[in-house]
Amino acid sequence: MAVPFQCVQACRPDPQDHSSWVLLAASGPRIYSCHSSGATSVWSSQKISEPPVHADEPQEPPGKKVKLSKQAEEPPNVSKLVVTSDYQHLVAVTAEDKCLRVFRLDLTGRLEPLSERPMPKRPCAVTLIENDATILCADKFGDVYALPLVPSPTDADDIFVAAQEKKETSASFVPTATPLTVHSGRNRKALEDQLKQKLQPKTKGPLKFKHDLLLGHVSMLTDILYAEIAGEKAEAKPRTYIFTADRDEHIRISRGPPQSHIIEGFCQGHREFVSKLCLTGSGDLISGGGDDDLIVWDWLNSRMLEKISIKQPVLDFFKAHPQHARPPQESEGDLKVAVSGIWAIPSSSSRDSVLVTCEGVPALFLFKIDSEKKVSSLQQTLPLVGNPLDLTLLESGQSTEVIIVSIDHTREPGSTTMLRQKEVNVILEQLNDQAQGDGLLGREVEVANAENPGKQAALQDIFYGIENLRKRAGAED
């Protein structure tokens, strides 16, 4: 069965030709690129081959079992796609090998792989800053790294030399504890063993490319944003901010580099994980996650402006569409909503609007945001033929946008687990009536009709991983 697209991105890379477009879509380990002229290309991830470990080399001390990787032979699945604002590069994240991959994107949509950088932990969110020169990568361990989009060759050499020097100096192993350290009996024995062991090999080498650790949470990061606002004085440089959201309800606002160690504030008010952040056209911050409400923030003053229910529209939608398979609920109150995406719609009117999707809810929710009068409201609910997985906006003419939604055609609408009884042939659904969109859709179905080489379980997590962020009762004490 064809695999749905977990990520879609549309853009118009050719500044000369405003009618041409490129659609980039990831399905399992593949990235499809589709140009309006009809040209289609596919890139497929391969497992990075690591040099084989020699058996006579000293191994990591026993204790941590190394997975004998059968699944590692599977090509890693793509979990994120980001196109630079000049449409010349694509940044993709592959989940299983934790790799950041950068491609050059030409005018016809062809992808040319430029670099692949394996990160220490799985990247959860990426964004581009400083005119696309730098990638910010937020990972599962809570850290945010800054990496150059296109690494310069001299950086790599410098790091290589530094690593070599370090290796020489740290050749002999010295245990950090001493017999005078307060210890239990068992610890003392472990220390004796350590002293007998002459040398402990490094399990993981340092990263072999330029990367700066900017900030970190002690929690899994879920989203990252970057904002620039005018300085207080007219001649001052613009002020830059990094927003990071985590699984422990926090939204942190830090200064942008080079002062990213300074925390300006926290937006506090969520009771469950935060999964998505979005800045509206007028600069308000909107956050959503496992709570029943979206929250609109005056983020400069760490102040909550407004709560907008997302649960009520979802309940109303299911009530109006009883045909959808829903997870069985005791009562309406038990419905758990997990926001999977928030997108700002550029609008010419004075009011902002955002599109919101929730995991396993086959609809788009359009909200008008008016934080000044605190009268934000649901504007429209757009039913879809299946669960939305990702969404992209393609500008078409003055202030109108085509919305392209990637649909999960393999699962029942309304369910994140149940497979569909009958096959539907819609993988991308396009809203707003636009002739060009239709052309774009039919072809995608064809290209995607290939067997999926990736693991289903891994994909399930990429498609529907948000609800799993929720904390479960009875965790260890």
Which of 47, 110, 122, 255 is in the footprint of another protein by CB under 8 A?
A: 255
Q: Which of residues 62-91 bind another protein (CB under 8 A)?
A: 64
Residue 226 β-bridge partners: 242
Please pick, from the candidates 14, 97, 132, 249, the single residue that binds another protein as defined by CB under 8 A. Answer: 249
Beta carbon of residue 304, minimum distance to another protein (angstroms, whole number): 9
Give least dist CB 324 to another protein, A.
31
- Asked if 162 touches another protein (CB under 8 A), the answer is no
User: For another protein, what does the binding mask look like between residues 103 and 142, x meaning CB under 8 A?
Assistant: --------------------------------------xx
Q: What's the closest the beta carbon of residue 273 comes to another protein, in angstroms?
A: 11
Beta partners for 91? 82, 102
DSSP 193: H
Q: Does 293 bind another protein (CB under 8 A)?
A: no
Residue entry with tokens 């399930």: 460
Candidates 107-115, 126-134, 170-178, 314-322: pick the segment binding another protein (CB under 8 A): 170-178
In contact, 20 and 8? CB cutoff 8 Å: no
Distance, C-alpha 463 to centroid of its chain:
12
Nearer to another protein, 22 or 119 (CB): 119
To the nearest whole angstrom, how small is the minimum distance from the Cβ of residue 473 to another protein?
7
CB of 63 to another protein, least distance (A): 9
Q: At a CB cut-off of 8 Å and minimum separation 6, what does 20 contact? A: 12, 13, 14, 35, 36, 37, 107
What is the per-residue burial (b if ≥16 Cβ within 10 Å, else e) of 394-408? Answer: bebeeeebbbbbbbb
Q: Does 53 bind another protein (CB under 8 A)?
A: no
The structure tokens 């009068």 sit at 373
Check binding of 169 to another protein (CB under 8 A).
no
Q: Which residue from 113, 206, 265, 281 is in contact with another protein, where contact means CB under 8 A?
A: 265
Residues 184 to 223 in contact with another protein, rule: CB under 8 A: 184, 203, 213, 215-219
Question: Least separation, in Å, of the C-beta of 368 and another protein?
Answer: 25
Which H, E and C letters describe 347-358, residue by residue?
CCCCCEEEEEEE
Per-residue CA distances from 160 to 50, 154, 330 (Å): 18, 10, 59
Out of 55, 68, 199, 236, which residue is the one contacting another protein (CB under 8 A)? 236
Q: Which residues, at least 6 apart from 103, have a Cβ–Cβ distance to it below 8 Å?
A: 31, 43, 89, 90, 91, 92, 111, 112, 113, 114
- Beta-strand ranges (E) seen in 285-400 are 285-289, 293-298, 303-309, 339-345, 352-358, 363-369, 377-383, 387-395
Taking the complex as a whole, how short is the minimal distance between the CB of residue 294 and another protein, in angstroms?
16
Are 45 and 94 in contact, with CB atoms under 8 Å apart?
yes
Q: Which stretch binds another protein (CB under 8 A): 171-179, 285-293, 346-354, 440-448?
A: 171-179
> Judged by CB under 8 A, how many residues of this single chain contact another protein?
46
Cα Rg of the chain (Å, integer): 24
Chain residues binding another protein by CB under 8 A are 64, 141-143, 175-178, 180-182, 184, 203, 213, 215-219, 231, 236-237, 239, 248-250, 254-255, 258-259, 261-263, 265-266, 268-271, 471-477
